[in-house]
């Protein structure tokens, strides 16, 4: 089963890498599926001498690209990207997403917002009818984070501060913390929840991505893909 998931993610990553053309500025997502894409992109970059520059959405992803020799854009050297390829934790039929399981949601959202096309790569287990089967990550500032968490809980959300193995708060690449919200009965009003959560002082960004994904590539264990 686990093997099938990995094969599906690899298939989606490879199909996405095939979309990249010479001359493109490419946004690179974060996570295991995005890493499969980067692996395939590095292969094409090295074999076909693609003339591309990449814009990573995390320090982890930057390291992968650098290891493969892909040149990176300086973070303030460009303001738009041709195409970004990224994973997701959940995708609903309207291509609304939950992202940030890997903690990179803020940079991923900035990179997505810079991109003419956002291609999401997933295995079929990420497809849901209603969002909220997985936790919704919220990036918050560390300052007075107990107060921010208390406000989130007062508003009726089940939130917990993300911790590392050593029980210290998980810190994002931006030096912030993450609160993971669990929906007991899924999230039937994501736009409303987005508005409520993002209005709380201390909340920087949520893991909801609406009206951003232009295409979703669903990988299959046999190496094939379906496109939404």
Q: Least distance (Å) from ligand A5P to the CB of residue 86?
A: 5
**Helix residue ranges per DSSP H, the chain:** 2-17, 32-48, 59-67, 105-113, 145-154, 190-198
Q: Least distance (Å) from ligand A5P to the CB of residue 207?
A: 7
Smallest CA-to-CA distance from 41 within 74, 14, 66 is with: 14
Nearer to ligand A5P by C-beta: 101 or 190? 101
Chain position whose Cβ is nearest to ligand A5P: 31
Nearer to ligand A5P by C-beta: 29 or 132? 29
Smallest CA-to-CA distance from 206 within 120, 132, 150, 146 is with: 132
Please pick, among 108, 117, 191, 205, the residue that the annotation labels catalytic. 108
Smallest CA-to-CA distance from 197 within 138, 147, 113 is with: 138
Binding site for ligand A5P (CB under 6 A): 29-34, 86-89, 99-105, 108
Q: Least distance (Å) from ligand A5P to the CB of residue 99?
A: 3
Nearer to ligand A5P by C-beta: 60 or 151? 60
d(CA 155, CA 151) in angstroms, rounded, equals 6
Nearer to ligand A5P by C-beta: 47 or 134? 134
**Neighbouring-strand partners of residue 217:** 121, 227
Q: Least distance (Å) from ligand A5P to the CB of residue 87?
A: 3
108 is catalytic: yes
Asked if 137 contacts 178 with a C-beta cutoff of 8 angstroms, the reply is yes
> Which positions are catalytic?
108
């Amino acid at each position: 089963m686990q093997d099938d998931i990995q094969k599906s993610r690899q298939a989606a990553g490879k199909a996405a890498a095939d979309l990249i053309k010479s001359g493109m500025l490419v946004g690179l997502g974060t996570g295991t599926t995005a890493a499969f894409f980067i692996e395939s992109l590095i292969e094409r970059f090295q074999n076909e001498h693609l003339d591309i520059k990449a814009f990573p959405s995390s320090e982890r992803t930057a390291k992968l690209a650098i290891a493969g020799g892909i040149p990176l854009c300086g973070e303030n050297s460009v303001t738009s990207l041709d195409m970004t390829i990224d994973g997701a934790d959940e995708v609903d039929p309207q291509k609304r997403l939950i992202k940030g399981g890997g903690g990179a949601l803020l940079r991923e959202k900035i990179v997505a917002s810079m991109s003419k096309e956002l291609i999401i790569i997933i295995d079929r287990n990420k497809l849901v009818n209603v969002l909220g089967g997985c936790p919704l990550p919220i990036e918050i500032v560390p300052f007075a984070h107990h107060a921010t968490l208390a406000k989130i809980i007062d508003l009726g959300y089940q939130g917990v501060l993300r911790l590392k193995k050593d029980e210290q708060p998980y810190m994002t690449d931006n030096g912030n913390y993450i609160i993971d919200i669990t929906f007991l009965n899924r999230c039937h009003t994501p736009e409303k929840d987005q508005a409520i959560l993002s209005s709380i002082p201390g909340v920087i960004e949520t893991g909801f991505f609406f009206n951003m994904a232009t295409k979703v590539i669903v990988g299959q264990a046999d190496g094939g893909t379906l496109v939404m």
